[in-house]
Amino acid sequence: MRRAQAIAAGFAVMALLAGCGGAAAPASGGTTASGAAAATTTGSSSAIPITFWDAYTGPLGADLQHLVDEFNSSQTQYQVKAVYKGTYPQVLADTIAAYRSHQAPDITMIFDVGTATMMDSQGVYEPVYKLMAQNNIPFATSDFVGAAASYYETAADHLDSLPFASSTPVLYYNKAMLAKINAQPPATWSQMGSVGAALVKSGVKNGFTIGWPDWTQFEQYAVWNAYPYATDDNGYTAVKGVQLLINTKPFVDHINQLAQWQKSGVFIYGGRESTPEPLFLSGKVGMYIDSSASYAAIAKGAKFAFGEAPLPYQNGDANAPQNTVVGGNSLWVMAGEPADVYPGVARFLQFLMSGPSQAYWAANTGYVPISTAGVTALTNQGFYAKNPYAMVAVKELTDKPALPTTRGIRLGDLSQIRDIENAAITAVFANKESAQQALDKAEQQGNAVLAKFASSY
């Protein structure tokens, strides 16, 4: 009797708890990115779903959704569902967590710095070049623009992921402000200083600011001026024993110079990623270094005429300007998904690299087309003739063939190294440490990260 009462009491509480857990079962499919929900119900209900995690919201999210919708309505067999997962680091973290709990998406968008982390985790993904071959879809590394291919290709020149959104840093400038001081957009860093100072003198609050400071002032700064960023061809030829070279003279001098300009108001540090953008849009600075992919957002937000110019280079260096490399992301196909998904994934990737898709993407976003078919399509449409600004990024990437040290940066846990670089430059700009001290420390911490990464593979 007593026992029965006990059991009943236990069950009553458990049942209530279970009610709470029962509600837990996710609604089928679960994911409803608000944009996707409205637009992608065209396919037949028997279509095989393909989940695609991305990092795009705002105008870029709408452009990506446009492509996804186009693919979905072009056939009835598959239904791609694009799911916004937050910022790039969040997508990588979510992908890893989901893989570890066996809930990975079919396709995931991994930013440039996550490339080595993915590539070295063999077994986690299906190499794209193999996937395409299995599904008899013509696919070669040479189908891609050189700079995009070289950034993502393996030592054996294969592409494990599909290069997708690719951009490169450029210099945006406020046309009226530069006209007022009678200046051309600066081509070199020393001109950056003089034009910046003239802007300040003319009444602008600060001369210039810099978006993505880690990416533009270390990685791209290195390749554009042909300074090695790390040993072993920036990590392309080795995993173990790679050492950073970011405390060498070219980097120290450059950060030092920026710190002095920061003091005099010529330069203002505005934060990581694209957070300094409002400074440019509100007219508090006259020049702004950021990704070419920020074009759409700037065009939408700027109430003034602005231009786009090549990234300044370091005068005095023989090879400068050399080439920039792409930043952005590539698409990885996760392993262990149901077999019937993969042919659809392959077709979707083929669609994304096609001339028309790439032309649409590049024309609307400011990204550069990654496939040669895309470049051809845009050229034939007369896009570059009408929009000369778009050539700036393409020329930076393709004018000179990359040297072994300027193909890209292939380091594990590169996002941590970026964190370290950011910590270092903020310490310098805040006058806490000298450039040499801060970069020496960053080099040491970065090398520890690299050694830790190598030891886990």
Partner 1 sequence: MRARRRREAGRHVLLIGLALIFLVPIYVAVVAASHSAGDLLAAFPYAPGGLLLRNLGRVLIAGFPNAAPVDRMLANSLVMALGISLGKLLISVPAAFAVVFFNFRGRMLVFWLIFITLLLPVEVRFFPTYQITAQLGLLNSYGGLILPLMASATATFLFRQYFLTLPKELADAARIDGVRPLQFLLRIVLPLSRPNLAALFVIEFVYGWNQYLWPLLTTTDTHYQTVVMGMQGMISIASSFGVPQWNLVMAAAILALLPPVLVVVAMQRWFVRGIAAGIN
Partner 2 sequence: MLQATSPARTRARPAAAPATRAVFPQRALPLALALPQLLVVALFFLWPTYLALREAFINVNAFGLGGRFVGLANFAYVLTTGSYLHALGVTAEFGLIATAARMALGLLLAEQVQQVGRGRAIYRTLFAWTYAVPAAVAGSLWLFIFNPQVGMGGEILAALGVRWNFLLSSSQALAVVISMTVWQLTAYNYLFFTAGLQSLPEDVLEAGALDGAGPSKRFWRITFPMLAPTTFYLSVVNIIFVFFSTFATIDILTQGGPDNGTATLVYRIYQDAFQNANTSVAGAETILLILLVSALTAVQFRFLGRRGYYQ
As measured in angstroms, the least distance from the Cβ of 365 to partner 1 is 12
Beta bridge partners of 166: 328, 368
Task: Give CA–CA dist 193/444, Å, rounded.
Answer: 30
CB-nearer residue toward partner 2: 69 or 433? 433
* Segment interacting with partner 1, rule: CB under 8 A, options 51-59, 311-319, 321-329, 361-369: 51-59
Site residues (CB under 8 A) for partner 2, limited to 430-449: 430, 432, 445, 448
Binding residues among 171-210 for partner 2 as defined by CB under 8 A = none
Q: 409 Cβ partners below 8 Å, 6+ apart? A: 113, 219, 222, 229, 230, 234, 235, 325
Beta bridge partners of 169: 291
Window 20 to 49, contacts with partner 1 (CB under 8 A): 20-27, 30-35
CA–CA gap between residue 97 and residue 103 (Å, rounded): 8
Q: Is 81 helix (H, G, I), strand (E, B) or coil?
A: strand
> Cα(198)–Cα(138) distance, rounded to whole angstroms?
54
Q: Does 119 bind partner 2 (CB under 8 A)?
A: no
Q: Is-contact 454 241, C-beta < 8 A?
A: yes
Residue 210: burial class (beta carbons within 10 Å; 0-12, 13-18, 19+):
buried
Quick check: 300 binds partner 2 (CB under 8 A)?
no
CB 60 within 8 A of CB 88: no
Q: Provide the minimum distance between the beta carbon of 234 and partner 1 in the complex, in angstroms, as a whole number.
A: 29
385 makes contact, choosing from partner 1, partner 2, none, with CB < 5 to 8 Å by partner type, with none
Residue 5 in the binding site for partner 2 (CB under 8 A): yes
Q: What is the DSSP letter of 143?
A: G
Residue with smaller CB distance to partner 2, 35 or 276: 276
Residues between 385 and 424 with contacts to partner 2, criterion CB under 8 A: 413, 415-416, 419, 422-424
28: which DSSP letter?
S
Taking the complex as a whole, the smallest distance from the CB of residue 120 to partner 2 amounts, in Å, to 8
How many residues bind partner 1, per CB under 8 A? Answer: 49
Residues 251, 273, 310: CA angle, nearest 5 degrees: 60
Candidate list 244, 279, 289, 377; residue touching partner 2; CB under 8 A: 279
As a whole number of angstroms, the distance between CA 120 and CA 109 comes to: 16
Q: How far is the CB of 218 from partner 2 (least distance, A)?
A: 16
For the four alpha carbons of 410, 416, 417 and 418, in that order, the dihedral sign comes to positive
- By CB under 8 A, residue 59 contacts partner 1: yes
Measured on CA atoms in the order 142, 147, 153, 154, is the torsion positive or negative? positive
Tell me the closest approach of the beta carbon of residue 7 to partner 2, in angstroms.
6
Task: Provide the minimum distance between the beta carbon of 253 and partner 1 in the complex, in angstroms, as a whole number.
Answer: 32
Which helix or strand (DSSP H or E) is residue 34 part of? helix 34-39
CB of 122 to partner 1, least distance (A): 23
86 is a site residue for partner 2 (CB under 8 A): no
Strand partners, 287: 173, 208
- Token pair 């096609």 in the structure block, residue: 354
Does the protein bind partner 2 through residue 13 (CB under 8 A)? yes
| Six token digits for residue 385 | 């003739």
Residue 298 within binding range of partner 1, rule CB under 8 A: yes
DSSP class of residue 306 equals E
List residues near partner 1 by CB under 8 A.
Answer: 5, 9, 13, 16-17, 20-27, 30-35, 56-62, 83-87, 94, 97-98, 100-101, 103, 274-275, 277-278, 281-282, 297-302
List residues near partner 2 by CB under 8 A.
Answer: 2-3, 5-7, 9-10, 13-14, 17, 89, 92-93, 96-97, 99-100, 117, 120-121, 123-124, 268-272, 275-276, 278-279, 282, 284, 413, 415-416, 419, 422-424, 426-427, 429-430, 432, 445, 448, 452, 455-457
